[in-house]
A = this chain, B = another copy of it.
């Protein structure tokens, strides 16, 4: 036993290495800055956070309240309540059955019945917790995962906490994966590819041939696919294709896709913190349920009845339809700024290159908030890359491309969105004039 004298009587060092290294999400920095300004009485147009302004559907409130009154306030099974899992299984079967299956190599249809889905469903305390469990299940400490170079920052936080090395595949000018990077970045310790289509923040939708290529790559290398499908119900151009549609054409023991879904976005329920994972195999289902034990202890029981009611009366298409004109209008208004950009095919965001203003994204967002009272998120938040220092610790800095972009959410009431985007376009014009 060796005692380090320097530690004696000292207060403990600030935190474990992983906690010290953990980069704070820039989304939350803006969120807090905007809230502070609002607390001072400033009318801030909040285009920062991906929290659609829709009201929670009444049937969700009613089912939750009924559950509370009925004493549904005790622990639920780690895998989720049967009522919730059955509603999810029905929902998933409906969703994928309604869709054209991808062309299958073996000619299968990839249209499993409801019963087959049920044993693959694990409820999560939000898609974030589901993604954390999926990453920790697929990648051990010291192993690596392939992430897109522009990505939702919680992925890298989960990697840091879990000791997983992130490796970044490049994206084209249109935010599509550079497929040859997958092989170049992988070695035997690379255990999973993360796919997020439609993407937060870019809105890019991966076409069927890209999903097929990534899937075939994962098969060839014996890797998992973690598919973050939080935005799958928000598609304005083209059609969402899930790698599940390929995976479910194979026998269960050859499957490899963990698909994570959010209740938050499709049902205006961001504050209810529910999501679910579709597991490829029975052993993975059991393992994910077990991982809920240390991660959440159990699952919110009354809210799961709300989730069941929400999915059974599926109206997510109405929300997508309501957003479509805002998506279109935001694009038109942004074009007035004179900047070129791709309209996003899906999701809730425009992610635009504002480097023509001469401002780095963080400065752009800070000035926009201070002068125009419009909150957007600097792209830096979505492009953090780790660098190992001489002492072995990690530091994070945004890649050059991310520092040129900002993300703005158009899922706010039409008039507010339009006013916000007008101010942004005007701000850009003054800077590029």
Contact = CB atoms under 8 A, between A and B. Distances in A.
Given A16-B143, A141-B141, A297-B128, A35 B270 contact: no
8 contacts: A2-B188, A3-B188, A15-B287, A18-B136, A35-B77, A73-B269, A127-B297, A128-B298
A184 B220 contact: no
Interface in A291-324: 291, 293-303
Interface of A: 1-4, 7-20, 22, 24-25, 28, 31-32, 35, 49, 51, 55-56, 61, 64-65, 68-69, 71-78, 125-129, 132, 136-141, 143, 153-154, 157-158, 160-163, 184, 186-188, 191, 219-224, 253-256, 268-273, 283-284, 287, 290-291, 293-303
Given A22-B291, A74-B270, A4 B296 contact: no
Closest 5 CB pairs of A and B: A128-B297, A271-B301, A16-B140, A157-B294, A7-B222
A270 B31 contact: no
Given A7-B188, A12-B256, A188-B2, A136 B161 contact: yes
A263 B220 CA distance: 48
Copies in the complex: 2
Contacts of A73: 55-56, 61, 268-272
A163 B16 CA distance: 12
A372 to B, nearest CB: 23
A4 to B, nearest CB: 4
Contacts of A127: 297
A297 B126 contact: yes
A65 B66 CA distance: 10
Given A125-B129, A128-B297, 6 more contacts: A3-B187, A11-B253, A15-B284, A128-B293, A163-B163, A273-B300
A16 B137 CA distance: 5
Contacts of A221: 3, 7-8
Contacts of A303: 300, 303
Contacts of A283: 14-15
Contact of A297 (B14, B129, B188, B300): B129
B1 A220 contact: no
Contacts of A255: 11
A273 B290 contact: no
Contacts of A4: 188
Given A129-B296, A254-B11, A270-B73, A16 B158 contact: no
A166 to B, nearest CB: 12
Nearest to A275: B297
Nearest to A65: B65
Nearest to A28: B78
Contacts of A74: 51, 270-271
Contact of A273 (B15, B20, B125): B125
A141 B294 contact: no
B128 A294 contact: yes
Contacts of A188: 2-4, 7
A137 to B, nearest CB: 4
Contacts of A1: 184, 186-187
A319 to B, nearest CB: 14
Nearest to A18: B140
Contacts of A128: 293-298
A278 to B, nearest CB: 16
A222 B9 contact: yes
A299 B140 CA distance: 27
